[in-house]
Amino acid sequence: LYLGSVDRQPAAYLGMSIFPGWGHLDRIAVDPAFQGHGLGRQALVWAINTMHRAGCRRIALSTQLGNERSQRLYERFGFQRSPGFDYRLYGAPLKSPATSVAPANARQATASSTGTKMKDETREWAVVSGRSSS
């Protein structure tokens, strides 16, 4: 589980699982007060890049049928729908790190002795619990 903060206030979280050769994006959730400012997009870029560095070559995720905003975001990043479910199931080959479509001040994730973090001027993603499996 990773927590995203804006000006030191919790604003979003994401969960992901990493397995040999592939990863699963379990969830991205952004507090409604912080939606519309690219935080979900930044979280997706961070998750894709983290999975790529871990050796993942494919990513899977799912989202609710009515969550069209998230569906558009995933499709912009090359995820493709799998038909036949009451929710949207997506998958994408992971050939290279994500290129950010986030604001220009977003920065790549960096590893440190305290964990993996991504910072820009006001946002930070850090591990808050658990760990990825491999």
Res 89: pLDDT: 63
Residue 68 lies in a domain: yes
**Sorting pLDDT into bands at 50, 70 and 90, what band is 111?**
very low
134, part of any domain = no
Alpha carbon distances (Å) from 8 to 13, 18, 41, 87, 121: 13, 27, 19, 33, 11
Which residue is associated with the tokens 């658990």?
A: 130
Specify the residue for token string 């519309």: 36
Which of 38-52, 71-85, 98-112 has the highest mean predicted lDDT (pLDDT)? 38-52
Statement: residue 132 has pLDDT above 50: no
* CATH assignment of the domain containing 44: 3.40.630.30
Question: By residue range, what is the domain housing residue 90?
Answer: 2-127
- With b for 16 or more beta-carbon neighbours within 10 A and e for fewer, the 33-64 pattern comes to ebeeebbbbbbbbbbbbbbbebebeebbbbbe
> Is it the case that residue 130 has pLDDT exceeding 80?
no
